[in-house]
Amino acid sequence: MGDLIIALEGTAAGEQLALILALCAALLHAIFGALQKGRHDPLLSRGAIDAAMVVLAGPVALFIVPWPEPHMWPIFAGMFIIHAGYKWAVLSAYRRGAYTVVYPVMRGTGPLFTVIGAGILFGEVFTLGQWIGVGVLITGLYGLAAYNIATVTIDRETLIPALGFAVLTGLFVALYTNYDAYGIRATADPFTFLAWFFFIDGFAMPGFAYVAWRRMANPPALSGLALRGVIGALVAFGSFGSVMLATRLDHVGEAAVLRETSTVFAALIGWIFLKETVGPRRLALMGLIAAGAVIVEAAG
């Protein structure tokens, strides 16, 4: 499988596969966010997901894929630190704000800085049409966030800090997107990076989550958390794995922008499963987000 990805790098077929992978990542990332923000404390959900990632990815990393080259270990160390900061920012935002408020802000902050970072690190250049697409997408994202802020009725007292952590999360998104793109390109086999990424990254949160669970007056059943963890880990494999493969196959900036259509999926998930209201204004703003992504891809 790794040989196929390598063979498709820089080809038209590789560009098409990158497009599909980025859109799959968008849908799965919205599902992943909803799993973290669901009925359990976000820290408990994230801890369960990370624990399942260690259990599921460990055998693949240790016994199936080729072992990482020596120069990859410092890269994995940096990756662990960056993703730990990202998880802390995400959990802080989810604990303070409604899902449909904080999620668009998180995702809206990331694309612009990711594109700029990809230009610096990888020499990627966006055309004028693509920059227009980025502007349309970000307008839709922040418009959606502003509308949600104006209409939300829950968590109003913690809205400002929730938005602050959401912006910080977006900066971490830009940082890890570029850093992970560098990492997956630094190893011969992309699946070596993916397996070890999930295995190492999974050690960040379970300990904190267990301590929090032990201190709760009425902790949720471990069986329910374990099931959420396994489902979340499988979704994470598909979501983060897809976008990282997309960044190896094609431009990092384009993959990052396409992934932000996850906000459209997130709004639908919030409406259908979390019973959050979606009206014509939100639908129009989600249309802007989708249009921006289409413009970026078409203008490229």
pLDDT tens per residue, range 19-66: 899 889 888 988 887 776 656 677 888 899 999 999 999 999 999 999
Does 145 score more than 80 pLDDT? no
Side chain identity at residue 109, one-letter code: T
Over residues 165-181, the mean pLDDT reads 90
| Phi, psi (degrees; rounded to nearest 5) at 118 | -65, -35
Q: Helix/strand/coil (H, E, C) string of 93-104?
A: HHHHCCHHHHHH
Q: Using the CB atoms, write b or e for 131-150: b if 16+ within 10 Å.
A: eebbebbbbbbebbbebbbe
Please report where in the chains the tokens 């990092």 appear, as a residue: 252
- Return all residues near 164 (Cβ < 8 A) that are at least 6 apart: none
Over residues 272-278, the mean pLDDT reads 67
Over residues 118-140, the mean pLDDT reads 86
pLDDT of residue 233: 94
Query: Which range is least confidently modeled, 113-127, 235-249, 263-277?
Result: 263-277
Reported as a pLDDT band with limits 50, 70 and 90, residue 121 is confident
Of residues 109 and 133, the one with the higher pLDDT is 133
- 59: exposed, middle or buried (C-beta count within 10 Å: 0-12, 13-18, 19+)? exposed
